[in-house]
């Protein structure tokens, strides 16, 4: 703890440490493995570095708990809680069960004993057999594309692209291939892969404190839920804020890489299903046949490992996959046999991960923390090491990091952007001219920027939707999901646009292996003791026998679910923050329920015992990682925000090229469709370049 903190609240916390040590060692008692304090919780609670900042919320609660425990011990005639017998300590802790202080104690115990973070590798990881990389694997930190400083940015480009995710990355590649000069602007700072992996408290998908993949302080959002509004900043729970990564490459920097094509029916949802009251299903202005060559290009230029068969029979293809599918694992073997008993088609999930060495980069080593973490050997394919790398290598693309476009200006003779950049902690203001501006900042930030710039019609920001999710678990006799990546392995599409689930249904996949911290905090099993020797034993022996099926299905869009501007909440540059309202249509609930029924059937056919559906939110937040629809493309300004080429209705030189264009989101991960559509939109822009 830093000097000068031995007084006041900090001094009280320091005085409470002996009592807290005794309490921690009852939450996680010693056995063949260290007790909680020596196993990592002590180092976590007394860390003067990031953990000291992270645990500011917990220290007052823990100090008060320690005081109550010592008072109770004094009433017993004891010198303090630490001097009591273990039995009596357990009795006093049980009496605190449910209190804020006790829940804080449990949480910091799980975080300190079962989470790798800030260079700490606590005993709980070894105890459960978790290894961040397989033995003998040498990690690499590949070089990132060369960037420019604010002073090196030219006064004018052919195109300014806002956002470096899959849409912006593809646009940069296509435009530079056509000889256009491009400025790619990304608000995140440049971070190496090593800064974006191996941290189970700050990694974007599981972050509870200051996500390493941003956005950091000064980027608030207003979450509107009923009559309750909550302001969240990019420094806390990533699930509530939104899981899209702020990094070069956007979400593809940290994704697992599931790379599906949408089915033909996904492009005509309104025609196929009509619209229930209050919904806003719409057909795409393009169909599968027009998208197919762009899907093939996306698979080959991104790099997808897959297998033709049951998962591809409803999506005609002009070429096979560039790499074979990832190898099998026990979960795939178990569920594939069960699928065959049910008469269902199944197959290995297509992944944008090198299953074999490709383009000078290694094959996947199957580390256990693929989802939400950068790859330890650079085998994961994303915008950063494919599209953007090619654009920069062409000499036609400048990449400006740690800079944010704060205004887009449209004009008959040209467009421009206003940029605020950080340069040695000194803000720099730039105005850059361009023939066109392509906004590819995602389904929240793209409409926010355009609304703040006064560009677009009343459809801008509407129809915010994601996917619906369902998790069903049970118990298997033999573990089938060890700490081996990359994650999900086997799937069936038999309940997508089928009679078994309404409104387009959803894909079912095996539940990926969970991080130890996730299992400790929320055991997906019945009857697990909340703390003590029983909880520790379950983590060591029972956790591995939990197995499940995960469903991802259609979410029915609604015009009332939208991104607007928050009038009273401002970001670090003084701009209005995004306000998000997410309503859930009853039809979407039917999709969830239908996936749960079919998931239970699959697990039952696999011989899984104690099958149960997990409760909890079906989407992480109003801004899920699959969010889309807020700049939906279409033929009419009355029902869409852009035309079929991504040009904003009413604008001359402003285009959109990201997930916000999607009128509907299919029932599978949307990234391959983002990439394919970005190829289509960007190529059309090249051919119809405004003059």
Distance between CA atoms of residues 2 and 422, nearest Å: 29
pLDDT at site 7: 41
pLDDT at site 9: 59
Strands 562-570 and 576-581, how do they pair?
antiparallel
585 in Cβ contact with 503 (< 8 Å): no
DSSP letters, 343-406, are T---EEPPBSB-SS-BTTBPPP---S--TTS--SSS-B--TTTTHHHHHHHTT-EEEE-SEEEE
Distance between CA atoms of residues 120 and 41, nearest Å: 10
- Tens-place pLDDT, residues 415-424: 999 999 976 6
Average pLDDT, integer, range 563-579: 96
26 in Cβ contact with 86 (< 8 Å): yes
Distance between CA atoms of residues 385 and 528, nearest Å: 43
For residue 525, give both structure tokens: 């099993």
pLDDT at site 293: 98
DSSP letters, 52-70, are HHHGGGHHHHHHHHHHHHH
For residue 656, give both structure tokens: 């959109």
Round the CA-based radius of gyration of the chain to a whole number and report it.
26
- Tens-place pLDDT, residues 93-145: 999 999 999 999 999 999 999 999 999 999 999 999 999 999 999 999 999 99
Average pLDDT, integer, range 500-527: 95
Contact partners, residue 130, CB within 8 Å, separation at least 6: 368, 483, 515, 516
Distance between CA atoms of residues 665 and 168, nearest Å: 19
Residue 311 pLDDT > 80: yes
Strands 182-185 and 156-162, how do they pair?
parallel
Average pLDDT, integer, range 496-515: 97
Task: Give me the phi and psi of 573, to 5 degrees please.
Answer: -100, 5
Distance between CA atoms of residues 296 and 79, nearest Å: 73
Distance between CA atoms of residues 302 and 128, nearest Å: 35
- Tens-place pLDDT, residues 599-651: 999 999 999 999 999 987 666 578 888 999 999 999 999 999 999 999 999 99
623 in Cβ contact with 429 (< 8 Å): no
- Tens-place pLDDT, residues 651-662: 999 999 999 999
Q: How many residues does the chain have?
A: 691
């Amino acid at each position: 703890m830093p000097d000068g903190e031995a007084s006041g609240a900090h001094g009280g916390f320091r005085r409470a440490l002996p009592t807290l040590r005794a309490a921690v060692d009852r939450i996680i008692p010693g056995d063949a493995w260290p007790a909680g304090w020596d196993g990592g919780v002590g180092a976590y609670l007394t860390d003067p570095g990031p953990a000291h900042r992270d645990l500011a919320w917990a220290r007052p609660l823990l100090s008060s708990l320690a005081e109550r425990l010592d008072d109770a011990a004094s009433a017993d005639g004891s010198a303090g809680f630490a001097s009591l017998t273990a039995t009596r300590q357990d009795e006093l802790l049980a009496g605190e069960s449910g209190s804020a202080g006790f829940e804080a104690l449990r949480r910091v115990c799980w975080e300190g004993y079962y989470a790798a973070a800030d260079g700490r590798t606590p005993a709980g990881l070894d105890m459960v057999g978790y290894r961040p990389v397989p033995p003998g694997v040498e990690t690499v930190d590949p070089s990132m594309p060369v960037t420019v400083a604010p002073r090196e940015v030219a006064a004018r480009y052919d195109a300014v692209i806002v956002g470096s995710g899959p849409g912006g990355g593809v646009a940069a590649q296509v435009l530079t291939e056509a000889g256009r000069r491009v400025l790619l602007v990304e608000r995140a700072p440049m971070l190496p892969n090593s800064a974006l992996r191996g941290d189970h408290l700050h990694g974007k998908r599981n972050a509870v404190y200051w996500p390493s993949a941003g956005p950091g302080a000064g980027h608030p959002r207003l979450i509107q839920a009923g009559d309750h509004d909550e302001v969240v900043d990019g420094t806390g729970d990533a699930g509530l804020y939104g899981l899209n990564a702020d990094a070069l490459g956007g979400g593809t920097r940290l994704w697992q890489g599931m790379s599906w094509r949408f089915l033909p029916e996904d492009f005509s949802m309104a025609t196929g299903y009509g619209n229930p009251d209050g919904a806003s299903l719409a057909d795409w202005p393009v169909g599968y046949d027009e998208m197919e060559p762009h899907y093939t290009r996306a698979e080959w230029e991104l790099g997808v490992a897959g297998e033709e068969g049951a998962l591809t029979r409803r999506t005609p293809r002009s070429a096979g996959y560039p790499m074979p599918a990832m190898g099998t694992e026990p979960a795939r073997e178990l569920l594939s046999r069960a699928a065959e008993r049910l008469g269902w088609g199944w197959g290995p999930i297509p992944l944008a991960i090198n299953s074999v060495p490709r383009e000078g980069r290694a094959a996947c080593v199957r580390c256990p923390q693929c989802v939400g973490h950068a790859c330890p050997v650079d085998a994961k394919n994303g915008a950063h090491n494919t599209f953007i790398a090619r654009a920069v290598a062409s000499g036609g693309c400048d990449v400006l990091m740690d800079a944010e476009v704060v205004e887009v200006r449209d004009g008959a003779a040209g467009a421009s952007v206003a940029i605020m950049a950080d340069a040695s902690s000194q803000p720099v203001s730039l105005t850059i001219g361009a023939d066109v501006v392509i906004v590819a900042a995602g389904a929240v930030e793209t409409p926010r920027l355009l609304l703040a710039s006064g560009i677009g019609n009343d459809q801008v920001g509407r129809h915010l939707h994601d996917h619906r999710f369902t998790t069903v678990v049970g118990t298997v006799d033999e573990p089938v999901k060890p700490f081996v990546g990359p994650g999900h392995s086997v799937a069936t599409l038999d309940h997508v646009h089928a009679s078994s689930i309404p409104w387009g249904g959803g894909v079912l996949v095996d539940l990926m292996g969970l991080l130890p911290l996730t299992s400790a905090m929320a055991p997906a099993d019945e009857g697990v003791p909340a703390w003590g020797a029983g909880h520790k034993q379950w983590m060591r022996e029972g956790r591995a026998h939990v197995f499940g099926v995960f469903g991802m299905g259609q979410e029915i869009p609604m015009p009332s679910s939208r991104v607007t501007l928050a009038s009273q909440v401002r970001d670090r540059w003084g701009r209005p923050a995004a306000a998000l309202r997410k309503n859930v249509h009853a039809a979407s609930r039917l999709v969830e329920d239908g996936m749960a029924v079919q998931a239970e059937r699959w697990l039952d056919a696999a011989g899984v015992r104690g099958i149960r559906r997990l409760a909890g939110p079906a989407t992480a937040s109003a801004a899920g990682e699959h969010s889309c629809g807020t700049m939906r493309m279409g033929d009419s300004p009355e029902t869409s925000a852009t035309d079929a080429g991504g040009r904003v209705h009413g604008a001359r030189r402003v285009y959109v090229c990201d997930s916000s264009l999607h009128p509907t989101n299919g029932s599978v991960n949307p990234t391959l469709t983002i990439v394919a559509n970005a190829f289509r939109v960007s190529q059309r822009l090249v051919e119809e370049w405004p003059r």
